[in-house]
Amino acid sequence: MNIVILAAGQGKRMRSELPKVLHPLAGRPLLAHVLDAARSMAEALGLPAEVVVVVGHAGERVVQAFAGQPGVRFVAQHRQLGTGHAVLQASPLLDDAQPTMVLYGDVPLIEAETLLALLSAAGDGVGLLSAHATDPTGYGRVVRDAAGRVIRIVEERDATPDERAIDEVNTGILVAPTSRLKSWVTKLANDNAQREYYLTDVIALAVSEGAPVAACLAPDVTQTLGVNSKSQLAHLERIVQRRRAERLMQSGATLADPARIDVRGELSVGADVFIDVGCVFEGRVALADRVRVGPYCVLRDVQVGADSELVAFTHLTESRIGAQVRVGPFARLRPGAQLDDQVHIGNFVEVKASRVGHGSKANHLAYIGDAEVGPRTNIGAGTIVANYDGANKHRSRIGEDVQVGSNCVLVAPITVGDGATIGAGSTVSREVPAGGLTLARARQVTIAGWKRPLKKSGD
């Protein structure tokens, strides 16, 4: 099946250097959502999706963003002369033996089920997706004859007062036999207020040639909403997030406020998960049964085991967390962090590219980088693993049942034996043997009778 996605518009009202179809919705470009719907439709039909994306303004950035995706080709519309002109640019790449569906890169909420219904309604003729709008301002109107048959689409700027009163609007999405569509787009004229070649004029041409035209009503007008401004983008973002919140609650999650959650990727939840306000989920995140996520946490590509708790303002990226773990508040797990079961990572603690063993703790103001920490080890407040020498990172191994006092520096690469204790304030740069107490700090000295300096008179 041929699928043409129009993505050439500059989006002047966005007031941005970023091409309109690359603006993110729920963490992904607008165009990505449309491609997903097209592929899902083709997959349901058991057909390969041959997609042609028409690019224009800053088109090289769109091509670069989607380069390498299977079944997607690009064609440039060097002059933006309207939607009909855009389809004309794509026509050489379309297979006459298959029908062609035209979609829009800035209409991201369209669903595959709606496109399938449109195909069914069209049969061997032309299918037009329409919608009933409470406020049709700005949309082309679907004009029908006395028998209810579609006879043409009229753009608002060119409509009469009676036509403007019509509340059935054109979404722009249509499907047509490819050979006839190619013929029709060559016959389009630009004698309109915009001096553009409107794809919607194809409907009148089809009617004049006796081709059957069927209008299929979208089940939900929000599927047909386009993005032409930052305000409209924000409106669609809240629609998407509310839908995702509803799905999460249907899956058993409790949301403190469904209006204050942002899922910008894939979030799966187990039973009795609780998510507080202001949390952001990006990439792929999985929360097992009874996980609790405190307010204003950010999770990106994270797995969290059952009965674990993430306390307020915790940030986690590309990390794995076991069961019955507590992290935060104000903690940060960077890529490669792995916390085994029953680990505690406390306030203002950062873990990067390290594994922290079962039952170990770092409760206050610590940094663990490029280290393997054994089970039941305690990392004292203010302690850091100094893994960077200014040029290279080095790994360390801290054994099990180790006690590291407050304000220690473990200079990597270093090995700390099982059961060792390192006294507070130590800077350790050599291997620490198992079982003993290691001190590496200057001797305390008191100078009796020492006087503090005094300010000079007159200062």
- pLDDT value of residue 94: 94
Q: Please, are residues 33 and 108 in contact by the beta-carbon 8 Å criterion?
A: yes
- Where is pLDDT greater, at 70 or 271? 271
User: What pLDDT band is residue 137 in, cutting at 50, 70 and 90?
Assistant: confident
Q: For 79-116, how does the pLDDT look when each residue is reduced to its tens digit (9 = 90+)? A: 889 999 999 999 999 999 999 999 999 999 999 999 99
Element (H, E) at 59: helix 59-66
104, containing H or E segment: strand 100-104
Looking at residue 9, its pLDDT comes to: 83
pLDDT digits (tens, 9 = 90+) for 297-329: 999 999 999 999 999 999 999 999 999 999 999
Buried b / exposed e across 54-71, counting CB within 10 Å, b at 16+? Answer: bbbbbbeebeeebeeeee
Between 178-186 and 201-208, two packed helices, what is the crossing angle to 10 degrees? 110
Q: Which CATH number fits domain 2-224: 3.20.20.70, 1.10.3730.10, 3.50.50.60, 3.90.550.10?
A: 3.90.550.10
Residue 455 is predicted with a pLDDT of: 84
Are 301 and 283 a contacting pair, CB within 8 Å?
yes
* Per-residue pLDDT at 347 exceeds 90: yes
In the Cβ-directed half-sphere of 431, how many Cα atoms lie within 13 Å?
A: 6
Residues 6+ apart with CB under 8 A from 229: 13, 14
Residue 221 pLDDT greater than 80, yes or no: yes
Assign 287 to helix, strand or coil.
Answer: strand
* pLDDT class of 43 with cuts at 50, 70, 90: very high
Torsion-angle region of residue 311: left (phi > 0), alpha (psi -120 to 50) or beta? beta
Asked if 178 contacts 87 with a C-beta cutoff of 8 angstroms, the reply is: no
pLDDT digits (tens, 9 = 90+) for 353-392: 999 999 999 999 999 999 999 999 999 999 999 999 999 9
Are the C-beta atoms of 13 and 228 separated by less than 8 Å?
A: yes
Residue 191's pLDDT is what? Answer: 85
Q: What is the mean pLDDT of the chain?
A: 94
pLDDT at residue 149, rounded to an integer: 84
Question: What gap in Å lies between CA 374 and CA 372, rounded to an integer?
Answer: 6
pLDDT value at position 121?
A: 92
pLDDT reading at 458 higher than 70: no
CB 7 within 8 A of CB 66: no
**Confidence (pLDDT) at 107:** 96
Q: Which residue in 85, 235, 315, 364 is the catalytic one?
A: 364
- Burial of 130 per CB tally in 10 Å (0-12, 13-18, 19+): buried
At residue 194, the pLDDT reads 82
Fill in the amino acid letter for 79: R
Q: Rounded to 5 degrees, what are φ and ψ at 232?
A: -65, -35
Report whether pLDDT(176) > 80.
yes
The CATH number assigned to the domain with range 230-438 reads 2.160.10.10
Q: Rounded to 5 degrees, what angle do the CA atoms 43, 45, 49 make?
A: 50
| Over residues 387-409, mean pLDDT | 96
The pLDDT value given to residue 96: 93
* The token pair that represents 67 in the structure block: 């380069």
Condensed to tens digits (0 to 9), the pLDDT of residues 413-448 reads 999 999 999 999 999 999 999 999 999 988 888 999
What is the Cα–Cα distance from 294 to 310, expressed in whole angstroms?
A: 6
Calculate the CA 9 to chain-centre distance.
22
Q: What is the CA radius of gyration of the chain?
A: 31
- Each as own residue / partner, the long-range contacts of residues 9-18 (CB below 8 Å, 24 or more positions apart, any chain) are 9/56, 9/57, 9/80, 9/106, 10/56, 10/57, 10/58, 10/80, 11/57, 11/106, 11/227, 11/228, 13/228, 13/229, 14/227, 14/228, 14/229, 14/230, 14/233, 15/230, 16/230, 17/58, 18/58, 18/61
Strands 326-327 and 279-287: unpaired
Class of residue 186 by CB neighbours under 10 A (exposed 0-12, middle 13-18, buried 19+)? exposed
Q: Is 85 a catalytic residue?
A: no
Q: Which residue has the higher pLDDT, 192 or 76?
A: 76
- What pLDDT shows up at residue 459? 60
Per-domain boundaries in the chain: 2-224, 230-438
From the CB of residue 343, how many other CB atoms can be counted at a distance below 10 Å?
Answer: 27
**pLDDT, tens only, 238-262:** 999 999 999 999 999 999 999 999 9
SS3 of residue 31 by DSSP = helix
Helix axes 30-45, 59-66, angle to 10 degrees: 50
Mean pLDDT of the region 341-362: 98
Give the model confidence (pLDDT) of 149-165 as tens digits: 888 888 888 889 989 99
**Contact, 53 vs 7, CB < 8 A?**
yes
